[in-house]
Structure 1
Amino acid sequence: MSSQPQAAAAPLGVGILGGGPVTQAIHLPSLARLGDLLRVRHIMDVDPAVAESVAARVGARFSTSTVELLADPEVDVVAICSPHQFHAEQVIAACRAGKKAVLCEKPFAMSGQEAEAIAAVSAETGVPIIVGAMHTFDPAWLAAETAWGAVPGQVHTIRSSIVLPPNPRFEDFATEVVGRTPPPGRPQAGTDADAAMLSGGVMGLAIHDLPLVRRFCPDFADVRVLHAEALAPFGYVLSLQAGDTAIELRAAMNDTWEPDWSFEAIGDDAALRIDFTPSYVQAGSATARISTREETTVFGPFGHNGYEGEWRRLAALARGTGTAPSAATLIDDLEFALAIADSAAGRVRPAAAAAAEARA
C-alpha cells in the first residue's frame, strides 16, 4: 500500500508590534529567509507612515493599534519590538489574545514584578514566550553548550568584550531605515548621564551576553559591582564578583573600522571562547572554541545566526514542538541584568554628586 506524502504545513502568520530599526534591519531580513515557516502578515507602529512603509516591503497589513493587530486572525505569533516600557503589557495582551507564541525583544519586563505577572499569564494561557537575546539562540553557542561537559564547574573568570560602531551604521548597511529617531546628545560627563549610560548599556547591550554569563555563575544572587565606569561617546567598563566568579563586561561604541564581539569563560583546565558576529550582521553564526590542555575543539560557523535561530525556535514552539525557556530562567535572567544595571548606576551617582558639590 503506497502512502501519499503529507502536505507541508502552511507558514505561520507573524504580527510585529513596532516597526523601528530592529524590525527593519534585523527581523524582516531574517524572516525573508524563513518563508516556508513564517510570513509577516501585520505591522503595527504608532507612526502611520512607518507602519505603512514597513508593511509595504513585505506585502503585509498595517495599523497603529495593538488591539487591531492582536485581533487579526491571520496573526499566529507576535513579535514585540516596541519601546521597553510597553513590553510587559503587550506580552500579556498577546497571550490573552490566544496567539500561539510570543517573541519579545529584551528586556521583556522592567521589573521582577512585571516578569512574574508575565510568567503567570503565560502559564494560565499556555502561550510560550521567548526573549530575543540572540546569542542564546546562536548555533555555535548551542553546540558548545552541548559539548562542554564539566567546564562550567571550574570557570573562575568571565569576560564579555564588545567593540562596535553606532547602530545606525549597520542599520544603513542592512536596509533603508524609515522613521529613525536621532539619538539625544550626551550631556557633560560627571553628571547623571554616566549613571544613565551604565544602566542603558547593561539593559541594551550587555544583556545579550548576561544569560550566557549566568550559565557559568548560578550563585548570582550576591553579585557585586566592584567597579563601574562610563566611556565616551558610549560604552562601559564593569568589574563584578558573583560568588567565586570574576566577571568583566566591557563595551565601546565609536568610529571603529573593525567590530569585535567576544565572550570568554576561563577555568583552571579548560576555557570557552565565542566570537560573535556584530549586531545587525547576518552572515552565519558565531565560532566557538573549547580549549583544554590537550586540544581545541571548534564549533561553527554555521549557516545561520541567533536572529534566525530565535525565529526558528518560535515557529517550533507555535507548532507544539521544542521546549520554551522556563519562567524561572526568564525571571532570573532579567533580575540578574536589573541588579547589575542598578548597582553600576549607583556606583557613579555618588561620584557625580561629589563632583557637582566641588564645582558649586
Structure 2
Amino acid sequence: MSSQPQAAPAPLGVGILGAGPVTQAIHLPSLARLGNILEARHIMDVDPAVAEAVAGRVGANFSTSMEELLADPAVDIVAICSPHQFHAAQVIAACHAGKKAVLCEKPFAMTGQEAAGISAVSAETGVPIIVGAMHTFDPGWLAAEEAWGDLPEQVHTVRSSIVLPPNPRFEDFATEIVGRVPMPGRDSTDPEAIKAMLTGGVMGLAIHDLPLVRRFTPDFAAVEVLHAEIVRPFGYVISLRAGNVTIELRAAMNGTWEPSWVFEAIGNDAALKIDFTPSYVHAGSATARIRKAGQATVLGPFSHNGYEGEWRKLAELARGTGQPPSAETLIHDLEFALSIAEAAAGRVDMEVNA
C-alpha cells in the first residue's frame, strides 16, 4: 500500500504597509527568493502612484489605507515599513485584525510604554511579532551564538563599527526606486540639530547592532554615555559603559568605495568578530570568527542573510511552529536603544553648558 506524497502548503500572503525604499530594495527581493513559502499580495502607501507602481512589480493589490490592507483576506502576514511614529498603532491594528504574524521595522515603538502596550495586545490576540533587526536572524550570528561558549560572561569591550556610502547607492543596485523622498538638510552646528542627528543615528543605524550588544551587557539598564559626537555628513562616535562593559559605537556614511560593517565582542580569553554585509545588500550571511587560546573558528558565510532569515522565521510562526522572540527581549532591546539615544543627546547639552 503506497502513500501519496503530501503537497506543499500554499505560500502565505504578505501585506506591506509603506512602499518606500526598504520595501522596494529589501523586502520584495527577499520575498521573491522565498516564493515557495511567501508571496507579496497587497502593498499600501499613502502615495497612490507609489503604491500602484510597487504593487505592479509583484502582481499584488494596492491601496492607500491600512484598513483596506488589513481587511484583505489574502493577507496572512503584515509587514510594517511606515515612518516610526506609526509603528505602534499599526502593529496593534494588525494584531486585532487577526493576522497570523507581524513584522515591524525598527524601532517597533517610540517609548517603553508603547512597547509594553504592543506586548499586551500580542499576548491577548496570540499574534506573534518580529522586529526587523536583521542581524539577529543572520545565520552567521546564530552560528556564533551556538559556538561561543562562555564568551558573554567574560566580555569587557564591545564595538560596532559601520562605514557605508549613503543608502541610495545600495538601493539603486537592488532595484529602481520610485517615490524616493530626499533627506532634509540640517544645520549641523546647532545643538538641537546635533542632538537630533545623534538620536537618529542611534535609532536608525546603531539599532541594527544594539540587540547584539545587549547580549553581552547583562547590566544594560545602567547606561552611562562618556562621549558623543556627530560625524559629518552623517555618522556618530559614541562611547559608553553598561555595567562593567565598555561599548564603542561608530558610524560614518560618506563617499566610501569599500563598505564595512564589523561587530566585535572581546573577553579576557576569547573574542568574537563578525563581518556583516551592508544593509540593502543581498549577498549571503555574515562571517563570524571566534578566537580562543590562539585557535580561530570561522563560521560562514551561509547561503542567505538576515533579511531572508527574518522572513523564514515569520513563515514558521504564521504556520504555528517555532518560538517568537519574547516580549521581554523586544521591550528591553528598545529600552536599551532609547536610553543610549537619550544619554547621547544629553552629552550635547553638557558640552554646550560646560
- Give the TM-score, by structure 2 length: 0.99
Question: After superposition, where does 1:150-189 map in structure 2 within 5 Å?
Answer: 150-189=150-189
Shift in Å, 1:353: 5.8
- 1:18 lines up with 2:18 in the alignment: yes
Alpha-carbon distance, 1:233 to partner: 0.5
Is residue 52 from structure 1 mapped to residue 52 from structure 2 by the alignment?
Answer: yes
Letter aligned with residue 280 of structure 1? Y
1:223 CA drift (Å): 1.0
Tell me the residue number matched to 1:198: 198
Could you tell me which residue of structure 2 aligns to residue 358 of structure 1? none
Equivalent position of 1:251 in the other structure: 251
User: Who is 1:357 aligned against?
Assistant: none
CA deviation string 1:306-343 (max 9, x = no partner): 00000000000000111100000000000000000011
- Map of 1:61-210 to 2, 5 A cutoff? 61-210=61-210
Question: How far apart are residue 186 of structure 1 and its match?
Answer: 2.2
**Deviations, residues 17-67 of structure 1 (Å, cap 9, x unaligned):** 000000000000000000001000000000000000000000000000000
Instruction: Give the superposition deviation at 1:190.
Output: 4.0
Please, which runs of 5 or more residues in structure 2 have no aligned partner?
none
Paired amino acid for 1:229: E
Q: Within 1, Cα distance between the matches of 2:88 and 2:67?
A: 15
Deviation at 1:352? 4.1
SS in 2 for 1:216: coil
Q: For 1:353 and 1:205, locate their aligned partners in 2 and report how far apart those are by CA, in whole Å.
A: 28
Matches within 5 A, 1:221-300: 221-300=221-300
* Aligned partner letter, 2:341: A
Which segments of 5 or more consecutive residues in structure 1 lack a partner in the other structure? 355-360
Structure 1 CA distance for aligned equivalents of residues 331 and 106 of structure 2: 12
The count of residues paired between Structure 1 and Structure 2 equals: 354
**Which stretch of the first structure deviates more once superposed, 182-191 or 275-284?**
182-191
Deviation at 1:152, TM superposition (A): 0.7
Whole-angstrom distance in 1 between the partners of 2:294 and 2:257: 36
Distance 1:318 1:240 in 2: 39
In 1: Cα distance, 2:303 partner to 2:213 partner? 25
Contact preservation (8 Å) 2:191, 2:348: no
* d(CA) in 1 for partners of 2:292, 2:352: 45
User: For residue 332 of structure 1, what is the aligned residue in structure 2?
Assistant: 332
Q: What letter is aligned with 1:60?
A: A
| Secondary structure at 2:215 match in 1 | helix
CA distance in 2, matches of 1:311, 1:353: 47
Residue 36 of structure 1 aligns with which residue?
36
Asked if structure 1 preserves the Cα contact closer than 8 Å seen for 2:135 and 2:141, the reply is yes
Q: Percent identity?
A: 79
| Contact residue 19 and residue 51 of structure 1 kept, 8 A | yes
Residues 13, 77 of structure 2: 8 Å contact kept: yes
> Could you report, residue by residue, the CA deviation over 1:127-179 in whole angstroms, capped at 9, with x for unpaired residues?
00000011000000000001111111000000000000001111111111011
Whole-Å separation in 1 of the counterparts to 2:86 and 2:218: 29
Matches of 1:172 and 1:33 in 2, distance apart?
19
Q: TM-score, normalised by structure 1?
A: 0.97
